[in-house]
Amino acid sequence: MRTPPRATSGGRVASAGKTGRAGKLLLSGVLAICLAGAMAVPTLPAEAAKPKPPVIPSKAAVERAKQAAASKAAQVAAIERQLAAADARLEQLGVRSGIAAEAYNGAVYRLQQAKAEAAAAAARAAEAQKTLTAQRQQIGRFAAASYQGGGDVAKIAPLFTAEGPQDLLDSAGTAHSVSAAMQGSYLRFTATQVMTNLFKVQADQAVVKVKKATDEAAKAKKAAEDAEAAQSAAVTAIGVQRKQSIAQLATLQNISLQVADQRQRGLEELARQRAAAIAAKKAAELKARIAAREAAERRREAAERAREAREEKAERAREAKEQREREKQNDKQDSRKKNPPKREKPSTPSRDNDGGGSKSTRGGVQDVIEFAMRQRGDMYLWGGTGPDRWDCSGLTQAAWEQAGVQLPHYSVAQYEQIRHIDEDELRPGDLIFWSLDPDDPGTIHHVGMYLGDGRMIHAPRSGKPVQIDSVYYWEPPDFFGRP
């Protein structure tokens, strides 16, 4: 049976409708995929296929960069030199302040000497004037006696005037007319008058010297004050400069200010450690020289003791022999009743352990050192003599007073008044001196006390306390002495 045409046509239409919907869905999926793919792929410029040319600095630019780097390094080096120079400047000012302080001590010392000389000269002049007056009175008594005895009063009348004795001596006739005793009085009077005039001149000169010394002391005091003020001002100014320089270093080196400051302090500490190592080496060499000298001294003393022992033994043998000979010549039977001559043991000469100083003085050296050590931490003060502020010579003066040794408050005079020794003779308590001219002790300006093992204690300079340092912490010392 055939399908009706309507029905057949309707079936095609239905089939075609299903096929159309499926195609639309497929087309939509394809379009979606394509759209997604299109969105996933970036849009490339037309020139993407061509590489960019590299940036190549010109030779001029490279040269400018090199110059900038070199300039930066040079600025860093310059600032570091400025910091080092600032530290050296502070040290130099400290030294100058110490020198000025000791110059003031010297001026005061010379003033004290001038006053003592003036007082002594005035006393001599007064005593001479007193003697002159007594002699003039004696001549007057001679004149009175001559007058009462009928002498030629007219010739001796000038005695009663102010210049009478001298005028009388100038007259040969009068000199012959007086007695020999009176002539002796005239001669003594003349000599005394000459000495009196001389003492008066010396007294006047001493007064002038005192005035000059007073002026010098005032000038030295002003110089010391100015030096200390300059040092104090420099400490403040250099402190500000230091902070600014370290800030510049931090900027140039592209580091923090704290790191720059820490680095600079580290460099300075390293420099101090190197200096300390050099000082320690020199101190060790000094210790070795002192040990070698002491060993040689001990050998010499041992040889001296051995020689003395041999001589003592020989002396005893000689005495024993003489005793036996005396006993042989003794006719008495009972030799036991005879009192044999006493033989005293020769005394061994005492040896001075200090090489020159008195035993009592050296016995007090420990007191001297202990006193100085108790002052550690006390601050420096120019002209200071204690009890809690010191300058260099004030400290050594007070320390040696503990052993009964009187030293002036002036380093030059201290060296002048003690025994001079060599460097390898140093022992604890000895004094060490620094000078401007190593050949001229008159230029000494600093003194410290030796402690042994290459160390010393001293009052260094303004701004620093009494402290222990290597003998070579600064410059090698020039002179050495033992009170």
Q: Which residue in 34, 392, 409, 420 is the catalytic one? A: 392
Q: 3-class SS at 433?
A: strand
Name 457's bridge partners. Answer: 449, 468
Please give the C-alpha separations between residue 201 and each of 121, 194, 196, 206, 300, in angstroms, as whole numbers: 9, 11, 9, 9, 56
The number of helix segments (H) and strand segments (E) in the chain equals: 11, 8
Q: What's the token pair of residue 93?
A: 């000012």
CA dihedral over 392, 395, 398, 399, signed as positive or negative:
negative
The C-alpha atoms of residue 399 and residue 448 are separated, in whole angstroms, by 11
The C-alpha atoms of residue 35 and residue 469 are separated, in whole angstroms, by 90
Q: Which residue in 34, 420, 445, 458 is the catalytic one? A: 458
Write the single-letter amino acid at 367. D
Q: Is 392 a catalytic residue?
A: yes
- 431-434: long-range contacts at Cβ-Cβ below 8 A with a sequence spacing of 24 or more? 431/396, 431/480, 431/481, 431/482, 431/483, 432/456, 432/471, 432/477, 432/479, 432/480, 433/477, 433/478, 433/479, 433/480, 433/481, 434/474, 434/475, 434/477, 434/478
- 450-453: long-range contacts at Cβ-Cβ below 8 A with a sequence spacing of 24 or more? 450/426, 451/369, 452/427, 452/428, 453/283, 453/287
Write the single-letter amino acid at 277. A
Look at the block and give the residue holding tokens 């930066």: 72
Q: Name the residues annotated as catalytic.
A: 392, 446, 458
